[in-house]
Structure 1
């Protein structure tokens, strides 16, 4: 078994907002736990507002957690300022929008080469390394791209530039926040294939943030399903897809496009516009199996096939 690179324990994030003299709190992420091993792809799946991107930004040390701990390579990040400073060399992030991730004022050569100058002092020939990275991500001939600006590239080419920039620091983990959602389907598949090829060559790990179960199934070894800031189900990707345990996971799968799915098949849901309760099961206002017991906090429990589920039906 490959070694553990990243361990997340009890990760939580609360945002505080103020309007005049009133203060309110929003619990974006609540008590999330997972482990990422070398060469592994973990998918974090859920609808918009489920806390996926907040987890990504905490793992990449872009925002601090309110509670919990992130352990990288056996070292706690929370109280280690030296590791916090060095973490960008080990954990890099691919953002959702490649159009906004690249500075239009600079050339591609500068965009990819600048992090090398700042963080990788061992690189003497920066231009040569940039050409090598462009070739590695399929932007060839590299000499034609190095002097271009981002506005001269297509969306897929921009995302490949972002990936080349990330690869320059030789990270052990890449956090990919919806890396194909802004791209055409065929281009998105090409980008996913590129990411898988790069993983096979270097044995780095990915944390894939996505709302698309098809992308998760295509890329990920393991999956955690988020709803309202909590993990409601986790397990091996194929096991979760083949036999979803939580009602919300079933709803997600039913909502996914599938040409072989029975068009007459339905899934019972109480109210998709219902709010999220502040206590107990966060999905109970929408769940057809809701009961009095769902008003109390429900832990993640084993549910067979190596899966864990947060549902009273499996307590």
Structure 2
């Protein structure tokens, strides 16, 4: 992996949430949403984060965006160490933008496009005049294929793909170094998905933006990601190049994700509905959290927390008994 300075460098990130009693609302336990997560995104590159629902992907994204404060670890955006409330937190926020899954809910329906796209410039005082504001908005609109003369239109007048282009323009207008893409095409028709993916790649080539892509769609990950991190129960269990991780996985959980793909020859609709024991996240303290679902689990898997044994391409592999490199 490249040793260049990343636009995002996450080191040892951990986050716990209180588990409340539904009756008394008292704290009855703690849930480890993330534990000792390391991840990096380089300029002009796409890092994908994959895993089933509840694996901790959203918590990690919220920590990167400054919407959650981690209990331990560091988030660095370029040369800034990102902590909410610190003097340079607003500068950090300007460097990181987000494109959400559904443009129908992420765009204010009453606002005109010029105000939706220009709002970040106003909030961050990134322009000094109305003329500069209008020019920056027009530039962002054109960069995503939205005509300048649509500036007074509202989201309801646009198609789903056009609304997502507006969301991308809004994220782009501050010229960030990092954009978090949270399932950016899953709410769109298949015919439109390819157009948006192509647009994201063109913008990355033009501006050198780093993307943190959160997705369940492994086909999209294969198409645009330069590296992939597989997350399970709050930990990164495997990482590396997509053509290796998604072709010859070494962790049994990664293999199960591949088997859950409709295009996979061994596709199994019930892959995540196994009746096997599903340990909670806190069970990482006693052994591998995937042991109760893994057909390769040994006694050591249930009794000892796995260490990183290293993947063949230099990535992470958190497994006592990994799959062979060439099955």
Q: Same fold (TM over 0.5)?
A: yes
Confirm whether residue 204 of structure 1 aligns to residue 209 of structure 2.
Answer: yes
Alpha carbons of 1:245 and 1:25: their partners in 2 closer, same or farther (altered >3 Å)?
same
The aligned residue for residue 244 of structure 2 is 239
Q: Which moved more, 1:130-139 or 1:113-122?
A: 113-122
**Number of residues paired by the alignment?**
311
> Is the CA contact 1:271–1:285 (under 8 Å) kept in the aligned structure 2?
no
Confirm whether residue 41 of structure 1 aligns to residue 46 of structure 2.
Answer: yes
Report the 3-state secondary structure (helix = DSSP H, G, I; strand = E; otherwise coil) of the residue aligned with 1:158: helix
The aligned residue for residue 218 of structure 1 is 223
The aligned residue for residue 291 of structure 1 is 298
The aligned residue for residue 60 of structure 1 is 65
**Offset, 1:294:** 0.9
Give structure 2 stretches of 5+ with no counterpart: none
Q: Which moved more, 1:117-126 or 1:102-111?
A: 117-126
Report the 3-state secondary structure (helix = DSSP H, G, I; strand = E; otherwise coil) of the residue aligned with 1:71: strand
The aligned residue for residue 281 of structure 1 is 288
Which whole-Å CA distance do the structure 1 matches of 2:39 and 2:238 have between them? 12
The TM-score with structure 1 as length reference comes to 0.91
The aligned residue for residue 312 of structure 2 is 304
Q: Which moved more, 1:99-108 or 1:302-311?
A: 302-311
> Is the CA contact 1:236–1:306 (under 8 Å) kept in the aligned structure 2?
no
**Offset, 1:48:** 0.8
Report the 3-state secondary structure (helix = DSSP H, G, I; strand = E; otherwise coil) of the residue aligned with 1:65: coil
Alpha carbons of 1:131 and 1:269: their partners in 2 closer, same or farther (altered >3 Å)?
closer
The TM-score with structure 2 as length reference comes to 0.88
**Offset, 1:127:** 2.1
Which whole-Å CA distance do the structure 1 matches of 2:26 and 2:136 have between them? 53
- 1:92-103 superposed matches below 5 A: 92-103=97-108
**Offset, 1:313:** 1.3
- 1:1-315 superposed matches below 5 A: 2-19=4-21, 20=24, 22-23=26-27, 24-78=29-83, 81-119=86-124, 120-122=126-128, 124-140=131-147, 142-143=148-149, 145-258=150-263, 261-262=264-265, 271=274, 274-277=277-280, 278-279=282-283, 280-295=287-302, 296-314=304-322
Report the 3-state secondary structure (helix = DSSP H, G, I; strand = E; otherwise coil) of the residue aligned with 1:125: helix
